[in-house]
Amino acid sequence: MIRVALKGLAGRRLRAALTALAIVLGVGMVSGTYAFTDRIEKAVDTLFTGAYTGADAVVSGKDVIESSTGGDATVPAELVYEVATLPGADAASGGIVDTARLLDRSGRPISTQDQALGLSVDAAAGARRFNPLALTAGRWPSGSTETAIDAGTAKTYGFGVGDSIAVATRGPARRFKISGIAEFTGLHSLGELTLAIFDVPTAQALFGKAGRLDEVWIAAKEGVSAEALVRTVRPLVPASAEVATGRAQAQAESKGSTEDVARVKKFLLAFGGIALFTGAFVIFNTLSITIAQRTRELATLRMLGASRRQVLTSVVIESTVIGLAGSIAGLLLGLGLDRGLAAVLATTEEGIPDSGAVLTMRTVVAGLLTGVLITLVAGLLPALRATRVPPVAAVREGTTLPPSRLAPYTRHAAATTAALGAGIVSVGLFAAGLDATQVLALLALGCLVLFLGVAMISSALVRPIASIVGWPAQRLAGIAGRLARENTVRNPGRTAVTAAALMIFLALVTFVTALGQGMRNSVTEGVDRVVRADYVLTADDDRSSLPADVGEELAAREPGATVSSVRQDSARALGSGVSVNGLDTATAAGALRLDWDAGSATTLADLGANGAVLQHGFAARHDLRVGSRFAIATAQGRRIDVTVKGIYTPPGLDPILAPIGIPRETFDASFERPEDIFTFIRTGHGVSADAGSRLVSAIEPYPEAKLQTLGQFRRSRSKDIRSTLVMVYALLGMTVLVSLLGMINTLVLSVMERTRELGLLRAVGMTRLQVRRMIRHESVITALIGAAIGLPLGIVLAALVTQALSDMGVAFAVPGPALALLVLAVILAGVLAAILPARRASRLNVLDALHYE
Asked whether residue 50 carries a pLDDT value surpassing 90, the answer given is: no
At residue 623, the pLDDT reads: 94
**Per-residue model confidence (pLDDT) at position 231:** 92
Query: 329 Cβ partners below 8 Å, 6+ apart?
Result: 20, 24, 27, 28
Does residue 52 carry a pLDDT above 80? yes
Q: Which residue has the higher pLDDT, 598 or 812?
A: 598
Quickly count: other Cβ atoms within 10 Å of residue 477's Cβ: 18
SS3 content of the chain, % helix, strand, coil (to 5): 60, 15, 25
- Residue 391: predicted pLDDT: 65
pLDDT at 325: 87
pLDDT category at 392 given cuts 50, 70, 90 is low
Chain segment 536-552, per-residue pLDDT in tens: 999 887 777 888 888 88
Beta bridge partners of 91: 219
pLDDT value, residue 347: 59
Alpha-carbon gap, residue 22 to 802, rounded angstroms = 33
Residue 834 near residue 776 (C-beta atoms within 8 A): yes
Of 375-384, 616-625, 769-778, the range with the lowest mean pLDDT is: 375-384
Reported as a single tens digit per residue, the pLDDT across 499-513 is 887 888 888 888 888
Q: What are phi and psi of 560, to 5 degrees?
A: -90, -5
Whole-number mean pLDDT of the chain?
Answer: 83
Amino acid at 765: G
Closest alpha carbon to 240 in 420, 45, 8, 71:
71
Assess contact for 289 and 494: CB atoms under 8 A: yes
Question: What's the whole-number mean pLDDT along residues 681-694?
Answer: 84
At residue 160, the 3 state secondary structure works out as coil
Rounded CA-CA distance 359/89 in Å is 40
Task: Give 607-657 pLDDT, tens digit per residue.
Answer: 988 999 999 999 999 999 999 999 998 887 789 999 999 999 998 888 899
**Other Cβ atoms closer than 10 A to 627:** 9
d(CA 30, CA 356): 19
- Of 60, 351, 361, 348, give the one whose Cα is nearest residue 187: 351
Q: Give 110-114's long-range contacts (Cβ < 8 A, gap of 24+).
A: 110/153, 110/157, 110/194, 111/192, 111/193, 111/194, 111/349, 112/192, 112/349, 112/540, 112/541, 112/543, 112/544, 113/539, 113/541, 113/543, 113/544, 113/545, 113/704, 114/541, 114/543, 114/544
Whether 851 shows a pLDDT value over 70: the answer reads no
First to last CA, the chain: 24
pLDDT score recorded for residue 9 = 59
723-747 average pLDDT score: 78
Region class of 848: left (phi > 0), else alpha (psi between -120 and 50), else beta: alpha
pLDDT at residue 4 greater than cutoff 60 = no
Pairing, β 174-184 against β 146-150: parallel
Question: Which of 5-19, 253-267, 336-350, 739-753 comes out lowest in average pLDDT?
Answer: 5-19
Q: Is there a contact between 55 and 127 (Cβ–Cβ < 8 Å)?
A: no
- Write out the DSSP string of 319-347: HHHHHHHHHHHHHHHHHHHHHHHHHHHTT
Res 454 pLDDT > 80: yes
The confidence band for 180, taking pLDDT boundaries of 50, 70 and 90, is very high
Res. 352 pLDDT band, cuts 50 70 90: low
Statement: residue 822 has pLDDT above 90: no
Pick from 114-118, 306-310, 589-593 the range whose average pLDDT is largest. Answer: 589-593
Q: Which H helix or E strand runs over 572?
A: strand 562-573
Could you give phi then psi for residue 813, rounded to 5 degrees? -140, 135
Q: What is the pLDDT of residue 430?
A: 81
Q: Is the pLDDT of residue 436 over 80?
A: no
341 falls in which pLDDT band (50, 70, 90)? confident
- Is residue 260 within 8 A of residue 480, CB to CB? The reply is no
Place 699 in a pLDDT band, splitting at 50, 70 and 90.
confident
**Backbone phi, then psi, for 45, in 5-degree steps?**
-60, -45
Model confidence band, residue 285 (pLDDT cutoffs 50, 70, 90): confident
